[in-house]
Amino acid sequence: MLSKEEIKEIDKAISIAPYKKAASVEALKAVQQHRKWISDESLQEVASYLEMSAEELDSIATFYNLIFRQPVGKHIILVCDSISCWVMGHDKIKEKLSELLSIDYGQTTADGRFTMLPNPCLGTCDCAPAMMVGNDLYRNLKTEEIEKILNKYS
Amino acid sequence: MEKPLTQHLRPDGKPLSLKEYEQVGGYQALKKVVKMTPQEVQTLVKDSNLKGRGGAGFNTGLKWSFVPMNVPKPKYLIANADEMEPGTFKDRVLLEQTPHQLIEGMIIAAFAIQASEAFVFLRWAYKTAAEEIERAIHEAHEAGYLGKNIAGSGFELEMHLHTGVGRYMCGEETALLNSLEGKRATPRAKPPFPQVSGLFGKPTIVNNVETLCCLPHIVNNGAEWFKKLSLTQDAGTKIYGVSGKVKKPGAWELPMGVTLRELIEEHAGGMQDGLKFRGALPGGASTDFLVEEHLDVKMDFASVAAVGSRLGTGTVVVLDDQTCPVGFVKNLEHFFAQESCGFCTPCREGLPWIEKILESIENGKGREEDIKLLDAHTRLLGPGNTFCALAPGAMEPLQSALKYFRNDFEKHVKEKGCPHSKKSKYQIAN
């Protein structure tokens, strides 16, 4: 069941839209904020609240790469793999992350702490290579700093 | 040298509060505008020759003029803050550090088309910008610059922040509208153009952040002043950027029309020691390479177009002589293949094919005919064959790489591998 808080956030999005369905992206975002990912159950709950079919909502949920339809770790690592970061050493950063966490892109660590995903350009190309952990942006990354950065996230 | 857009940036990167913004003349342009007619505002901006800074370079005032005036509410004004073009980081500066300048620009644009609702469509990754814009919208509302009866004029405007959930396609004007309507971000057929039938079928203008930030200054100082800021026929200043292996990568507001050489050699401090310039994408991932012979090209819309590329977003990505051009292009095409919305066939099928061919070439499995296949794709996925500009944009760096760095492609095929990666392995072994 959608929580009171989730409903409040979805209703806010509905209030500025001409019809309920138009709030679908905002609703998925709100529910993911609370539940970390969108399970089939979550999807059905949101869809029925927005008076649309679960299939239609799923076509939207699976389109956007930052709506997660699979369980994810506590912290999401988004590694920029676009051109400026690639030139400035993305591959080494990714290799180091994989080595420290024993996971590849799209995987979650055994302890559920991190999910690592490649992400298109983070818009900080003058400070490449870059990555985000949760809401925090790290720029001008050096491989030797990565372990220390990861240790900040319990 | 005047830098209207970035003159109030602070060393700590924090934006001006509403009060501080007002102290340096903020919201004066808005107060002037509401005493004008919408038509007068449109004419002023048209006369200033402000061209869209999102990449297309269309005259902003002219774009507005296609919006019907005497129609029932609502009409919409949208700031495209979904900066996702790889290599582009110019709007981030304005979003994080000048939120009130953006909001004032948006109110001016909304007044010019008589829109009653406005959205900032912000990309998910810009967390600081989201906080600052949310706060600034609230402050502007409290001060009576948003809401009903703005500055006592009777004009009303509500403004909302929408943060996206990924996908490069959202930067495409009509796909952005679909996304805001809660749909998949696929592009729409044009016509009808958004000016007539946009968000929820209502007249809508989508303008880039940098474009909107120019508006308060044009209103305060006039169209002629704006034109004189530039070194060329394209008016105003431009936020240029340089990334890649240069000494001082960064973004700077400069007169429109500085040369590529000045950007790289003076502002970016030149190439890193031991590296040579081989080429550059002048304005993001979907622009054709420029090479050494183009270093003195003026970085404005017309001049860059005249040498076969596009100014795009004006943020330059530099290719150095130690970086493999095939690998460079492979990275770009991987991005485009991944970000294709899958709506039309040439883009959905063609881009992954291109990526696979480039991967074979890079990994030493390329055949001579693969280069010809790539040539063919640049035509098959070119303008006119796809629904939107994503695939044609993806072909720009590929076709120009095949032109300027053809030897590198051929060498990969002949030597069955990447000469650059062999070199680095050799160095590590030593």
- Encode pLDDT of B236-259 as tens digits: 999 999 999 999 999 999 999 999
Check pLDDT > 80 for residue B425.
Answer: no
Side chain identity, residue B78: I
* H helix runs in A36-143, sequence order: 40-49, 54-61, 83-87, 90-101
Q: Is residue A69 part of a domain?
A: no
Q: Quick one: A143 and A115 in the same domain?
A: yes
Q: Is residue A124 part of a domain?
A: yes
Q: Does A54 touch chain B (CB under 8 A)?
A: no
- Residue B182 to residue A119, Cβ atoms within 8 A: no
Check pLDDT > 90 for residue A119.
Answer: yes
- Residue B245 to residue A64, Cβ atoms within 8 A: no
Q: Quick one: A79 and A144 in the same domain?
A: yes
Assigned architecture for domain B325-423: Up-down Bundle (1.20)
Euclidean distance between CA atoms B5 and B229, whole angstroms: 12
Residue pointed to by tokens 């912000």: B122
Identify the CATH assignment for B237-320 out of 3.10.20.600, 3.10.129.10, 3.40.50.1700, 3.90.1410.10.
3.10.20.600
Q: What is the pTM of this model?
A: 0.96
Check pLDDT > 60 for residue B427.
Answer: no
Q: Using an 8 Å CB-CB cutoff, list chain A residues near B127.
A: 135, 137
What fold is seen in the domain B18-228?
Rossmann fold (3.40.50)
- Residue A25 to residue B335, Cβ atoms within 8 A: no
Q: Does B250 touch chain A (CB under 8 A)?
A: yes
What is the tally of structural domains in chain A? 2
- Residue B339 to residue A66, Cβ atoms within 8 A: no
Question: pLDDT digits over B360-413, tens only?
Answer: 999 999 999 999 999 999 999 999 999 999 999 999 999 999 999 999 999 999
* HSE-CB of B356 using CA atoms within 13 angstroms: 6
Q: Quick one: A102 and A142 in the same domain?
A: yes
Chain A interface test: which of B78, B183, B186 (most A C-beta within 10 Å):
B183
Confidence grade of residue B426 (pLDDT, cut at 50, 70, 90): very low
Check pLDDT > 50 for residue B157.
Answer: yes
Q: Is residue A68 part of a domain?
A: no
Domain that holds residue A59: 4-63
Q: Is residue A24 part of a domain?
A: yes
Query: Domain containing A132 — which CATH number?
Result: 3.40.30.10
Q: Using an 8 Å CB-CB cutoff, list chain A residues near B285.
A: 82-83, 121
pLDDT of residue B280: 98
Confidence grade of residue B56 (pLDDT, cut at 50, 70, 90): confident
pLDDT of residue B422: 54
Q: Quick one: A51 and A100 in the same domain?
A: no
pLDDT of residue B428: 38
- Residue A84 to residue B87, Cβ atoms within 8 A: yes
Q: Is residue A82 part of a domain?
A: yes
Q: Is residue A19 part of a domain?
A: yes
Confidence grade of residue B421 (pLDDT, cut at 50, 70, 90): confident
**B116 Ramachandran zone, left/alpha/beta (phi>0; psi -120 to 50):** alpha
Nearest in space to B232 (alpha carbons), one of B312, B311, B317: B311
Two domains, one topology: B18-228 and B237-320: no
Q: Which residues of A11-28 are buried (b: 16+ CB within 10 A; e: fewer)?
A: eebbeebeebbbbbbbbb
The dihedral sign for the CA sequence A133, A101, A130, A119 = negative
Rg of chain B taking only CA atoms, in angstroms: 22
